[in-house]
Amino acid sequence: MIVAVDVDGVCCDFVAVFAEYAQKFGETMDYSRYCLGLPEDKFKRVYERIVQLERPVFQMRPYRDTWKTLWDWHESWHDIHYVTARGGMFDTELRKKHEHQTRTWLMVNFFPQHWNLHFVQEKGVWCLSNGIHILIEDRAKDASRWLSQDLKVYLLDRPWNLGDYPHRIYSLREVNL
């Protein structure tokens, strides 16, 4: 089976570190909302500083349960692709820096599958044009948008994606490969 997994919120605990630095920079968080309820300009400003500082990116904790399941899938010869929209909102220089950080982070935390990493803004569209039928995502809005007959999108339960969704899972173990 060919599977695509989102990076932030599925493999990587982006929110904990983002929230820590956002608070240091004086922002107020709303954990029940995606992007912690920050307007786009504020979100981008905090995110840019995190990427520039570099160290916070590597402080982001891998979700070990995700890692373990992906490892098992890899051992069972499933084809795993990592998809992320990281860097899409930055200028070229910062985007390249963040892409490099992301590759390194995955290599350290999620080897050996890191070479199947794709930086895409429209993950659902990318999956469909690359023959992928299962996507695991943590953003409810995107999961709903991309769910179709040809693409089964699982929503991994997180505090920022509460609400109705037909394929909500609490662990990657629930994915029917």
Is residue 6 a contact point for Mg ion (CB under 5 A)? Answer: yes
Q: Which of residues 136-155 bind Mg ion (CB under 5 A)?
A: 138
State which residue, 11 or 73, has the beta carbon closest to Mg ion: 11
Tell me the per-residue interface mask from 44 to 63 with Mg ion, x by CB under 5 A, - otherwise.
--------------------
State which residue, 6 or 27, has the beta carbon closest to Mg ion: 6
The tokens 């160290």 sit on which residue?
Answer: 55
Report the distance separating Cα 82 and Cα 64, nearest Å. Answer: 16
Question: Least distance to Mg ion from the beta carbon of 11, Å?
Answer: 9
Q: Which residue is nearest to Mg ion (CB)?
A: 9
Measured at the CA of 41, the angle between CA 38 and CA 44, to 5 degrees, comes to 85
For Mg ion, the binding residue among 3, 9, 152, 175 (CB under 5 A) is 9
Chain centroid offset of residue 59 CA: 15
As to burial, measured by CB atoms within 10 angstroms (0-12 exposed, 13-18 middle, 19+ buried), residue 76 is exposed
For Mg ion, the binding residue among 1, 8, 42, 169 (CB under 5 A) is 8
- Contact region for Mg ion (CB under 5 A) — 7-15, 28-36, 55-63, 72-80? 7-15
Token output for 37: 């309820």
Question: Least distance to Mg ion from the beta carbon of 70, Å?
Answer: 15
Q: Which of residues 100-139 bind Mg ion (CB under 5 A)?
A: 138
- Contact region for Mg ion (CB under 5 A) — 2-10, 25-33, 45-53, 107-115? 2-10
Question: Least distance to Mg ion from the beta carbon of 77, Å?
Answer: 26
The answer to whether 53 touches 69, Cβ cutoff 8 Å, is: no
Asked if the peptide bond before residue 159 counts as cis, ω within 30 degrees of 0, the response is no
Name residues whose C-beta falls within 8 Å of residue 48's C-beta, 6 or more positions apart in sequence. Answer: 90, 94
Angle between helices 92-110 and 64-75 (to 10 degrees): 70
State which residue, 75 or 127, has the beta carbon closest to Mg ion: 127
Binding residues for Mg ion (CB under 5 A): 6, 8-9, 138
